[in-house]
Amino acid sequence: MRMIFNNPFRAEGKWFKGNLHTHSLNSDGHRSVEQLVTRYKDTGYDFLSITDHGKLTDTRKLSTPSFLLLPGEEICVGSSEGGRLIHIVGINIQGQIPVNDLDKEGDPQIVIDLIRELGGVAVVAHPYWSGLNLNDVKGLKGYLGVEVYNSTCDFAINRGLSNVHWDNLLVSGKRIYGFAVDDAHNMKRKYLPDDSCCAWINVKAESLTGDDIMNSIQKGLYYSSNGPEIKDIEIKQDQIKVSTSPVRTISFVSNGGLGQKNTSETGYLDEAVYSLKGREIYVRIEASDQKGLTAWSNPVFLEP
């Protein structure tokens, strides 16, 4: 079988940590843009996208050589089979998306097309939180991926993990990526943790510029995490080998009954190998630590 994978661990460049979904006081967030930039920068992030609802928040003056702001916006339109809006995040758009937010008569495909016309990439946000099923998303075209993990959706209502939605789309033939994001709103209530600086993507890029970061993201040269580190992925003949920070489980997730989960009952794992069976459509990696925090690779796609 032929394996198709843009391997970030074999690419030239440096690693840059960023969050692509955040809300400020300009929509329904509870921190100013300046407060968000300070918090993410001080926590070790290299780039951030403020994606306010229905408006393009101007962050250009806040970008520096050491901290990059990518322009973004979130639009919620259409109606799923369950009657819910479909949320689309546009990253690196060069202008506000000219549609009305919260319009149930709107078309998410038009939003995706407009994001691309504006020079950006589209991501389907928190499909589990939105109550989306495969039929709601599989007909859409031109989006780069889905949010596999969303901190806000996890902390607020325990619907932050959308790996099943991702897998269903991959099995249907979609070659899309996964993104771990915060979707930070910084709401305050008892027993609700701070939802900023909790999830991220690690991008391998030539430099911390909008062009280089976006070029790498579009090629899938990154992995997602809310805790563990993926240190290396090696593809050799009919095997995939992964090295990680110390974790409890390393899973190779694939279609049907294929794949493999490796669990350490008493200690930890920091590497695992999967031998292909010859019937895989894709294989992606999940590594989870003792706290249940996870790192996700993008899929390795396979062809006969």
- What is the percentage of the chain residues whose pLDDT exceeds 90? 98
- Tell me the Cα Rg of the chain: 18
pLDDT (tens digit, 9 = 90+) per residue, 236-279?
989 999 999 999 999 999 999 999 999 999 899 999 999 999 99
Residues with Cβ < 8 Å from 27, sequence gap 6 or more? 52, 53, 54, 55, 57, 74
Does the pLDDT of residue 171 top 90, yes or no?
A: yes
pLDDT (tens digit, 9 = 90+) per residue, 191-209?
999 999 999 999 999 999 9
- What the chain holds in terms of domains, given with CATH numbers, is 2-224 (3.20.20.140), 230-303 (2.60.40)
Write down the pLDDT at residue 114. 98
Torsional sign, CA 169, 175, 179, 185: negative
Write down the pLDDT at residue 57. 97
Pairing of strands 68-77, 300-303: unpaired
What is the token pair recorded at 51?
């994606």
pTM of the model: 0.98
Write down the pLDDT at residue 222. 99
Write down the pLDDT at residue 1. 83
Residue that is written with structure tokens 């994978």 in the block: 5
CA distance 235 to 12: 17
- Complete edge-to-edge strand list for the sheet that includes strand 230-236: 230-236, 239-247, 269-275
Does the pLDDT of residue 35 top 90, yes or no?
A: yes
